[in-house]
Homo-oligomer: A and B are copies of this chain.
Amino acid sequence: MNDTFLKACRGEKTAYTPVWLMRQAGRYLPEYRKVRSKVDFLTLCKTPELAAEVTIQPVEILKVDVAILFSDILIPVEAMGMKLEFSESKGPILYDPVRNDVAVSRLRSIKAKEDVPFVMDAVKLLVKKLNVPLIGFSGAPFTLATYMIEGGSSRNFINTKRMMYQTPELFGKLMDKIRDTVIDYLQAQIDAGANAVQIFDSWAGVLSPVDFEAYALPCVQKIVSALKGKVPVIYFAFNGSAMLKLVKKSGADIFGIDWRIDMADAIGMLGSDVAVQGNLDPCTLFGPKDLIRDRVKGILNRAEGAKGHIFNLGHGILPETPVENAIAMVEAVHELSSR
């Protein structure tokens, strides 16, 4: 078992900096597209053998140091009682958006082992097959709430913020149901064998610091403290780089860092008692290989002050990315960080 990733999570010395890519199991890989061509996206998520197959692909193709379960953050939301669909053009659609008391009351916190057993089955399959650690994951409550309230992706999150500001108690009731779902969901993945978990707060960055602290952070803190000490917990508040001091209050062990901040500045804000993960602009992989190498080097240098560093992109790899450039990135990380 390659334990470089877990060592870096704990801040232990490693022979080189471990690396993975957010969305590394995905559309940029021809091998993924081949599997996906046979089934729709949700079926792929819900079929353990297929989910496991695409989870393993980037480990073999890119030689990354860790796998992340192939799934979607909206899987537990569907199980909470919403109708979910993926549209090729519009992305996820959640029918009957949650905008009033009746809609919130109708939702239930899930029991993951009964409600989404296929996730745990995929985790169990993977821990048997993999020679690298496996990351389980969940969306953070605020991020999941935006999808539930907006009915899908959004540009300005007006419905979400309107509920937050105008009916804070109702918003809180919704967030608490999601929080309990997330705790149960991540605990079940850990019980099935996940070696670490990541909480994706993809839309935390649409909140001002004062709103983040009031409406989003408390639920993340409860989730982290429920899991603390069991496995390393990574918290990624995308586009929250200017409020990392608040983000740190989540209590996580490792913090995802997007590409909008210099890595040394991020570490300065977080302190050197936590590990960091990131922070290459995914678009760098559209540049020539010498530029990729140069940027990898820059980030490795700027991350030296952290307790631990897991190299990653600052956001998911884009579907249009040339595979050879992703491979070149992983090779550059391994080579340039070799100690």
Question: Are A281 and B158 within 8 A (Cβ)?
Answer: no
**A162 contacts the other chain (CB 8 A):** yes
The stretch of A45-53, A219-227, A228-236, A239-247 in contact with B is A239-247
- Interface digits, A261-289 against B, CB 8 Å rule (1 contact, 0 not)? 11001100000000000010111101110
Chain A's interface size range is: 35 or more
CA distance A242 to B243 in the complex (A): 8
Most-contacted residue by chain B among A243, A281, A283 (CB, 10 A) = A283
Apart from the given pairs A161-B286, A243-B265, 10 other A-B contacts in the complex at a CB distance below 8 Å: A156-B282, A156-B283, A157-B283, A161-B287, A165-B291, A209-B261, A209-B265, A241-B241, A241-B242, A243-B260
User: Taking beta carbons and an 8 Å cutoff, which residues of A are in contact with B?
Assistant: 156-158, 161-162, 165-166, 205, 207-211, 239-243, 259-262, 265-266, 279, 281-284, 286-288, 291, 295, 298, 314, 318, 320
Top 3 nearest A-B pairs (CB, nearest first) are A165-B287, A241-B242, A242-B261
Contacts A/B (CB < 8 Å), 30 sampled: A156-B282, A156-B283, A156-B318, A158-B318, A161-B283, A161-B284, A161-B286, A161-B287, A162-B283, A162-B286, A162-B287, A165-B284, A165-B288, A165-B291, A166-B287, A166-B288, A205-B260, A207-B281, A208-B260, A208-B314, A210-B262, A211-B281, A239-B239, A241-B241, A242-B242, A242-B260, A242-B261, A243-B260, A243-B262, A243-B265
